[in-house]
Amino acid sequence: MTNDSWGEIREQLEHRLGKNNYTTWIEPLKLSDLKNGVARFEVPTSFFGDWVNRNFADHIRTHLNANGVQVERVEFAVRPGTRRAAASAQAAAANGAAPRAKTASAERAPATKARAARPRVADEDLPGAPLDARFTFDSFVVGKPNELAHAAAKRVSEGGPVSFNPLFLYGGVGLGKTHLMHAIAHELQARRPDLRVLYLSAEQFMYRFVQALRDRSVMDFKEMFRSVDVLMVDDVQFIAGKDSTQEEFFHTFNALVDQNKQIVISADRAPGEIKDLEERIKSRLQCGLVVDLHPTDYELRLGILQQKADFYRDQYRGLTIAPGVLEFLAHRITTNVRVLEGALTRLFAFASLVGREITLDLTQDCLADILRASDRKVTIEEIQRKVAEHYNIRLSDMIGPKRLRNIARPRQIAMYLSKQLTPRSLPEIGRRFGGRDHTTIMHGVRKIEELMATDSQLADDLQLLKRLLQG
């Protein structure tokens, strides 16, 4: 294979993996050897090699094969002479092992000097995770539940003086923590290319630390983490209960705060609620700004769907989406944004395959499983309350003994809906309706079924109530 053809394959990889991944992980690879079905690449550090091997080796192999370069394996080896002179690095980093009070001053001075000349740790040695090119502030939809987190992230991304440290973002699964962290990193890279920004997951922090212990290069590890200007650690709950990693994280954290370097942390819950996290770490994490991403509301879900639908309309030209479909999805899928996005992706892919407009019917067919899983669990109490409100009777009349038609009929409607919308048995429903017998419930359910066939007003009422209860 010539350098030209590797150049072409690299271009294809850039297209496949996105600009950021390409620049960070693919461009620095140097093809050193190709024989016996093995392609060997030189990499700047062993961590770099491990990462590329774990995340991109398959892509590289597939693209080589697709371009007629038959390989069974790709391997990565550290470029000879890349490692810094161990002795000087160890000596410089030894400060990092000194007691903390000393560390602060001992480290601050050389760090400032190093910045003026060149950092002691080269940028390509930073063990960051790749950034997702799609996770930017532009693509982040802001609503009430996430507006504070968004504003705080924006402030940090300006790269100005550190005003709160750390910024701690927390919230449930798929609510946009990682998206915001990547957005901060992208923005900082654009606005302040002079800053060394390191984003990685807590798991990678641990992996990197354990590797340093194994390779007896803990000093290098310390030096590297203390040389960054902005450290972002995702999913910090991961290190809870992992004693030596917590210890190291604590020291890294303190060293950076002492140097007035910005730290951004994310987790699935508030610092005080992370089990098995040392108290001193919890209290350090609470020192800055702790912001919570709340579960999405209807407006935010609709906004996200509208934005993604615009994107897909561009991608699948000619596909149309009927009015009401996005609103329906925003109502029905309330679990998390990842599920919402997955639903829309599937919907557009399906509609383009069958060449049909995205209507409500098509949506219900195509997403039956997701919609079933997201169905709200309706309770008998909710049904009684909604029906009582709708017919303007008292909630107590639902379980009371009155037999007047204007009370008995709504009560039967509530019985019917309880049978339809909950998994409760007739005797259970009877107990919730003032201890009535199951035969009374059965009678009520049948009565409503009969009436529905002839009374269109009643049928409409039932439709509406069902929608309200399930929405």
Ligand X SMILES: Nc1ncnc2c1ncn2[C@@H]1O[C@H](COP(=O)(O)OP(=O)(O)OP(=O)(O)O)[C@@H](O)[C@H]1O
178 binds ligand X (CB under 6 A): yes
Alpha helices by DSSP H, listed for 67-146, are 86-93, 100-117
The full 3-state SS of 55-67, as one line of letters, equals HHHHHHHHHHHHC
Could you tell me which residues come within 8 angstroms of residue 368 by beta carbon, excluding any fewer than 6 positions away? none
Cβ distance to ligand X smaller for residue 291 or 337: 337
Query: Residues 141, 305, 388, 398: which binds ligand X (CB under 6 A)?
Result: 141
Q: How many Å apart are CA 405 and CA 413, to the nearest integer?
A: 12
170 binds ligand X (CB under 6 A): no
Cβ distance to ligand X smaller for residue 144 or 338: 338
Query: Residues 39, 44, 152, 177: which binds ligand X (CB under 6 A)?
Result: 177
CA distances from 130 to 55, 151, 308, 423 (A): 10, 24, 23, 46
Residue 371 CB neighbour total at 10 angstroms = 16
Cβ distance to ligand X smaller for residue 202 or 445: 202
Q: Give the range of 101-109, 137-145, 239-247, 409-417 binding ligand X by CB under 6 A.
A: 137-145
| Closest separation in Å from C-beta 85 to ligand X | 39
Q: How many Å apart are CA 226 and CA 103, to the nearest integer?
A: 11
Q: Give the range of 32-40, 166-174, 220-228, 355-363 binding ligand X by CB under 6 A.
A: 166-174
Query: Residues 51, 76, 140, 249: which binds ligand X (CB under 6 A)?
Result: 140
Is 241 a known ligand-binding residue? no
Strand order in the sheet with 197-201: 197-201, 230-234, 262-267, 167-171, 289-293
DSSP state of 175: S
Cβ distance to ligand X smaller for residue 343 or 380: 343
Could you tell me which residues come within 8 angstroms of residue 234 by beta carbon, excluding any fewer than 6 positions away? 129, 177, 178, 181, 199, 200, 201, 202, 266
Residue 195 CB neighbour total at 10 angstroms = 15
Phi, psi (5° rounding) for residue 220?
Answer: -60, -40
Which of 46, 48, 121 shows the shortest CA–CA distance to 88?
121
341 binds ligand X (CB under 6 A): yes
411 binds ligand X (CB under 6 A): no
Q: How many Å apart are CA 150 and CA 170, to the nearest integer?
A: 12
| Closest separation in Å from C-beta 341 to ligand X | 5
135 binds ligand X (CB under 6 A): yes
Phi, psi (5° rounding) for residue 84?
Answer: -65, 155
309 binds ligand X (CB under 6 A): no
Q: Give the range of 176-184, 189-197, 217-225, 403-411 binding ligand X by CB under 6 A.
A: 176-184
338 binds ligand X (CB under 6 A): yes
| Closest separation in Å from C-beta 313 to ligand X | 17
Query: Residues 337, 383, 388, 445: which binds ligand X (CB under 6 A)?
Result: 337
Q: How many Å apart are CA 366 and CA 82, to the nearest integer?
A: 53
173 binds ligand X (CB under 6 A): yes
Is 345 a known ligand-binding residue? no
| Closest separation in Å from C-beta 225 to ligand X | 22
388 binds ligand X (CB under 6 A): no
Cβ distance to ligand X smaller for residue 76 or 135: 135
Binding mask of the shown chain, residues 228 to 247, with x at each position contacting ligand X by CB under 6 A: -------x------------
Q: Tokens in use for 189?
A: 């890279």
Is 174 a known ligand-binding residue? yes
Residues binding ligand X (CB under 6 A): 135, 139-141, 146, 171, 173-179, 235, 268, 304, 337-338, 341
